Amino acid sequence: MAARTFPEMPTPSSLLSAYASMSTSIMLFRTMFNQLFPPQLRRYVLDNVRLYWKPKTSKLTLVFDEKDGMTSNHMFDAAEAFLCTRINPNSDRLRITKSVKDTHINIKFAESEEIGDSFEGVPVTWRYVRQQPQKRTGDGDGFDYANGKPSSGGGFSPERKFIELKFDKKYKEIIISSYLPWIIKRSQELENQKKVVKLHNLQSYGGGPGGYKESVNLDHPSTFDTLAMDPKMKQAIIDDLNLFLKRKDFYKKVGKAWKRGYLLYGPPGTGKSSLIAAIANYLKFDIFDLQLSNVGGDSSLKKLMLRTSNRSILVIEDIDCSIQLPDRKGIVPAKLSEVKPGRDPMFSLSGLLNFIDGLWSCCGDERIIIFTTNHKERLDPALLRPGRMDVHIHMSYLTVDGFETLAANYLNIYDHHWRFREIKELIKCRKVTPAEVAEELMKSEDVEVVLGGLVKFLKRKKVEDDEGKDGVDDEDDEVHESKKAKLIS
């Protein structure tokens, strides 16, 4: 039988020689790589190499970004609401919030915390991730090598929020076709059980093209029952809102975006903000407050508007004095020359109109847009036409009916007090706002003292107005117009 031979083992000197040769080759390659390639391209190549050599796993991760392009991701909102019901005592990290007006502590899903769940016997893991703004590494050549996508150059990328869902790949069909639709349905049930109206403040990144929103609960107690308005006008507004809500199919049939525009105009203190809060509380719609003076340009305006959600109210207050809004030719009207904006706007009236009534207005359903102004005559006629401001509501000075509402709300008294007749006669003759009368009604808890002080206030205001009155006929016309307080459709 022949003897079995074994391969000769390498000597230590040969191993050391091979190692030295390999090390020299690696160092030479590294030197050439660093010298021939720019830092951005080196980082891009290394990231792709790491991705290619990443160990294979049986797990699949689904990512729910807060935004889908420039619009909100409904799946992210649904997952976030659903996960609040899956927090258990074993969690190591939770987010705690409580506003001054909240009666309880809110426990929420914290970043980097993992929550386990199961669906039809399939175990899944959820994780919330929040990435802070990072400086872009693009060098101005139109490509960001660090992220492997086009870039406009320097600056900071916006903050990114997303939720990860991890599970075994073999359950992909069950998770996507059954689990995710169930989460959407569950989140809608939770929202219907406890709908909290939110107030969102839309902001730009230092006037740049990006944008974000800050949110708080809308704790404004205003309702249509407490508004000091003409009862017929209140009912007309309610009827218009109810008609709007049930006409989704009608708007689609006639080819119009499902939205409604309102213009609230009148003197300061007549209740424009209270009416907006009453509409939001009545509809359970979130409010998005847009300050035009903070918008850097048409592109920034576009991104801010796309951050608004369905079933929401977009509010643009004091549009006549917040900025000098250029017309469609880029010219600031001469009648606005006395208005002094904080800075020159970089967007045009055409850009604003495009989101109110143009193609971009269709990027959302069941929306209400409310403009407010103290001077309707200063607005460009292009803003006032139907389709942009469909309903014009004149917020007049306090009427007798409005005073009765205030007296019932603040003093819990009705039309039987002996001072009511005198107060009503003074209100009919004077231009006094609901805010002024409401302030007088809060000065004491004694009804007699409050009403006596209100009578003195109204008489003093009458004397002051008589002394400063100039052009009686013109003022009489204005009082008559304010008393009409009609809803113009």
For the chain, the structural domain boundaries read 59-194, 200-394, 400-488
10 Å CB burial of residue 137 (0-12, 13-18, 19+) is: middle
- Are 389 and 335 within 8 A, CB to CB? no
Read off the pLDDT of residues 231-247 as tens digits, 9 standing for 90 and up: 899 999 999 999 999 99
- Are 142 and 119 within 8 A, CB to CB? no
Read off the pLDDT of residues 365-413 as tens digits, 9 standing for 90 and up: 788 999 999 888 888 787 787 777 889 999 989 988 899 899 988 988 8
% of the chain exceeding 70 in pLDDT:
74
Average pLDDT over residues 169-188: 92
Read off the pLDDT of residues 292-338 as tens digits, 9 standing for 90 and up: 777 777 777 777 777 788 889 999 888 876 555 554 444 554 544 44
Long-range contacts formed by 8-15: CB under 8 A, 24+ apart: none
- For residue 7, what pLDDT is reported? 63
User: Does residue 460 register a pLDDT over 80?
Assistant: yes
Average pLDDT over residues 270-278: 93
Could you tell me the pLDDT band of residue 146, with boundaries at 50, 70 and 90?
A: very low
* CATH top class, domain 200-394: alpha beta
Side-chain-facing half-sphere of 248: CA atoms under 13 Å: 8
- For residue 347, what pLDDT is reported? 59
The size of the chain, in residues, is 489
Could you tell me the pLDDT band of residue 264, with boundaries at 50, 70 and 90?
A: very high
- For residue 439, what pLDDT is reported? 92
User: Does residue 461 register a pLDDT over 50?
Assistant: yes
Q: Pick left, alpha or beta for residue 95 (phi over 0 → left; psi -120 to 50 → alpha; otherwise beta).
A: beta
User: Does residue 349 register a pLDDT over 60?
Assistant: yes
